[in-house]
Structure 1
Amino acid sequence: MATALFALCIWHSGAALAAGPIKATQVVTSASPGQGASQCVFDLRGMQRYSGKVERLLPGTQGDAVGAILTDGTEIEMPPGLAAQDHHLRAGSSLTVRGLIAPALHLIRAFALSDKQDLCAAPMPELVTSAPPASAQGRIARLLHDGDGALNGALLDSGTVLRVPASGARTRYLQPGAPIYAEGYGYQTAYGKLVVARRLGPDRLQAIHVSDEPLIPRGAPPGSVGYDQIQGPGGTE
């Protein structure tokens, strides 16, 4: 009896995922234990597999791809270094991942590429580079999210990817179809233009500061040599 109930629960879970808002993204039957090697630290075979066709890849600040939009509109969020495990991944490619699905957001958080075997993200050295100032303007084609489902950007009708800090995500400006202007710093990558916003608004004149960094640099900590020194226009007082 317990076995039958467990099987029924599994069937209902799979049916609910397959019948959710994400229709063209296929739920793939998981491979049996021992089928295909894996270089992942954790055993991900308990996670569902999802498959679809890539419409475009989403650029990250290290020049890599950190996500994808599928042809059915599903957003795939990936950790840095995961997309690099498949050197043939590009627009038009088939993509199969293991992950968690948020049907209401049309979002899948991928933990591994999972075609013939599970491939997880390899550690990537963080490149500390100073990106040049950049701006973007257009209309919001769709919203983008992080791995926790929190709003963190938008895809513009021009194809530019816009990423915003938490303070920017809380503004009223990020709405599908709305006009948007952003300025901050940017990257030209193989996957398109990326702008990380510090100012955001419906146009340039109405843009507001949205960076989570403080506007005024922090002073010296109490007890330090420079704590009692005030930097004035003409120098230290």
Structure 2
Amino acid sequence: MSVHSRLAACIVFTTLGPCAFAQLTPPPALGSPPHAQAGPAAPVVSGRIQRWLINPNGEVDGLLLADGTQVSFPPHLSAAVQQLLKPGDTVQVSGRRAANAPVVRAATLTADSGRSVSDQPPAPDAPSPPPREPGALTGALTAMSADGQVAREIYTDRGDVNGVVLDDGTIVRFPPQAGAQLAMIVQPGGKLYAKGWGSSSASGNALEATAIGSTSDDLHELFARPNGEQAGLPRGPREERLAPAPTAP
């Protein structure tokens, strides 16, 4: 689900439960055959987990391996993956990689113990999750800013730049078209200042940028109002519009 579209719609969010459709499998029995070698449609990569990648909602939706490989997975696997793995562990990942893309889209993540987490579609007869009450996520996101040097870029499954990791570990996400337009700012080694909406958690800090620049005095607004004017930070979920003060007769 796109954080970008939710920001353009005044920060109205609807998310799945943290472990929806995640399946934790036991280690294989002794004598069971080893994993089959993956073909082009299901590459297998392995390595030590360097750090989690988190989205502005505070959910883990990817990881970086020590060799620089980026792995992505749906945010509804966040809790299950963190129960199985932690930074510093070795993981084997099977999944898919688009042609020339620097990202592996994980279908299964397997720990050294042999246990794994797989992204499983819901059963045809599985009940739908109950609808979230309106306003249930109100206050989940807060206005944030980030300032630092770009340590590395983050990519979509198709290979477009849609975020960066700063030198202090903060993750800044933005629409892929912004990554293309602001390539000189978001490239590794560049100085970046961003403001937007996000969250802080034990996993780290992440925000969805509404404006990006090399400094706070040189910001490029990323979202436009319906009339075409550039918008600043969106209003908070419960922020009310104040009536103009009456003028003196």
TM-score (norm 1): 0.65
Instruction: Note if 1:207 corresponds to 2:219.
Output: yes
Identify the match of residue 93 of structure 1 among 79, 83, 89.
Answer: 89
Identify the match of residue 104 of structure 2 among 98, 104, 108.
Answer: 108
Q: How many residues align?
A: 181
Identify the match of residue 118 of structure 2 among 117, 120, 129.
Answer: 120
Amino acid at match of 1:31: H
Within 5 Å, give how 1:65-104 maps onto structure 2: 65-86=60-81, 87-101=83-97
User: Residue in 2 aligned with 1:47?
Assistant: 42
Shift of 1:102: 6.0
Give, in whole Å, the separation in 2 of the partners of 1:151 and 1:108. Answer: 14
Shift of 1:111: 2.1
Identify the match of residue 135 of structure 1 among 142, 145, 166.
Answer: 145
Give, in whole Å, the separation in 1 of the partners of 2:171 and 2:187. Answer: 15
Shift of 1:47: 1.7
Give, in whole Å, the separation in 1 of the partners of 2:196 and 2:190. Answer: 19
Give, in whole Å, the separation in 1 of the partners of 2:64 and 2:117. Answer: 20
Alignment RMSD:
3.3
Question: Deviations 1:99-120 (Å, cap 9, x if unpaired)?
Answer: 1246955422212224536532
Instruction: Note if 1:158 corresponds to 2:162.
Output: no
User: Residue in 1 aligned with 2:200?
Assistant: 188
Amino acid at match of 1:80: P
Identify the match of residue 35 of structure 2 among 31, 36, 53.
Answer: 31
Give, in whole Å, the separation in 2 of the partners of 1:203 and 1:215. Answer: 27
Q: Secondary structure at the match of 1:84?
A: helix
Q: Secondary structure at the match of 1:109?
A: strand
Shift of 1:162: 0.6
Among all aligned residue pairs of Structure 1 and Structure 2, give the percentage whose two residues are the same amino acid: 28
Shift of 1:63: 2.4
Shift of 1:30: 6.6
Amino acid at match of 1:49: V
Q: Secondary structure at the match of 1:62?
A: coil
Amino acid at match of 2:153: L
TM-score (norm 2): 0.62
Kindly indicate whether the alpha-carbon contact (under 8 Å) linking 1:85 and 1:120 is maintained by their aligned counterparts in 2.
Answer: no
User: Residue in 1 aligned with 2:190?
Assistant: 178
Q: Secondary structure at the match of 2:76?
A: coil
Question: Deviations 1:9-47 (Å, cap 9, x if unpaired)?
Answer: xxxxxxxxxxxxxxxxxxxx97259xxxxxxxxxx9x62
User: Residue in 2 aligned with 1:25?
Assistant: none
Give, in whole Å, the separation in 1 of the partners of 2:68 and 2:36. Answer: 29
**Structure 2 gap ranges (5+):** 1-32, 123-128, 229-242
Inter-CA distance 187–79: structure 2 relative to 1 (3 Å threshold): same
Give, in whole Å, the separation in 2 of the partners of 1:98 and 1:188. Answer: 30
**Structure 1 gap ranges (5+):** 1-28, 34-43, 218-231
User: Residue in 2 aligned with 1:56?
Assistant: 51
Amino acid at match of 1:61: P
Inter-CA distance 111–129: structure 2 relative to 1 (3 Å threshold): farther
Give, in whole Å, the separation in 2 of the partners of 1:159 and 1:141. Answer: 8
